[in-house]
Amino acid sequence: MEQIGFEHAPIGLVVARNRRIERCNALFCEMFGYTRAELEGQSLAILYPSKDEFQRIGTLGTKAMLIDGRYDDERIMARKGGRLFWCRVRGQSLTPDDPLAHSVWSWADLSENRPLIRLSRRERQVAMLLCEGKTSKEIARDLDISPRTVESHRANMIGKLGARNSTDLVVRLTGMPV
């Protein structure tokens, strides 16, 4: 029954060791456009828009998981062929002292509710942190940039998405109904 539940879950599932895919289910493969053989044994890095984002998320995930063994966020990921899409990711560490040594992850495709707007890598990073409810100062600290630079990226995104203000920007980024 466990095997059936894992394989046919209505969400993408992954068991990972040191950020390498040990096992994944059919929906995860479908979501990213790979076969199971192409994914199992691979680093999760192949699913990120860049190596920098893979490293940055790994650092954030490790810090968060050291607190309570869990991590979740919404971020832009890359399908096979490089097409980007919004994804909700949640993880649970099975090894609390070394959170990413052995972990279980769920992945949900948000692209139907959240269209992708062309954003720079830094704008994507700022957008993700804005959607987590962080202030400009907190985002600046997390990304090691000035609050003024964060505000500049926010203003650019407001223009790109046609938002009226910062609140409307977050609504448009998250796809939440008004």
Which string of DSSP letters, residue by residue, matches 15-66? EEETTEEEEE-HHHHHHHT--HHHHTTSBGGGGSS-HHHHHHHHHHHHHHHH
Compute the distance between CA of residue 84 and CA of residue 80 in angstroms, rounded to an integer. 9
Per-residue confidence (pLDDT) for residue 178, from 0 to 100:
45
Q: Which residues of the chain have a pLDDT value below 50?
A: 178
CATH class assigned to 2-109: alpha beta
Is there a shared CATH topology between the 2-109 domain and the 121-174 domain? no
Per-residue confidence (pLDDT) for residue 171, from 0 to 100:
80
Per-residue confidence (pLDDT) for residue 115, from 0 to 100:
64
The listed CATH number (3.30.2230.10, 1.10.10.10, 1.10.3720.10, 3.50.50.60) that belongs to domain 121-174 = 1.10.10.10
Domain residue spans of the chain: 2-109, 121-174
Per-residue confidence (pLDDT) for residue 176, from 0 to 100:
55
Sign of the alpha-carbon torsion through 65, 70, 73, 75: positive
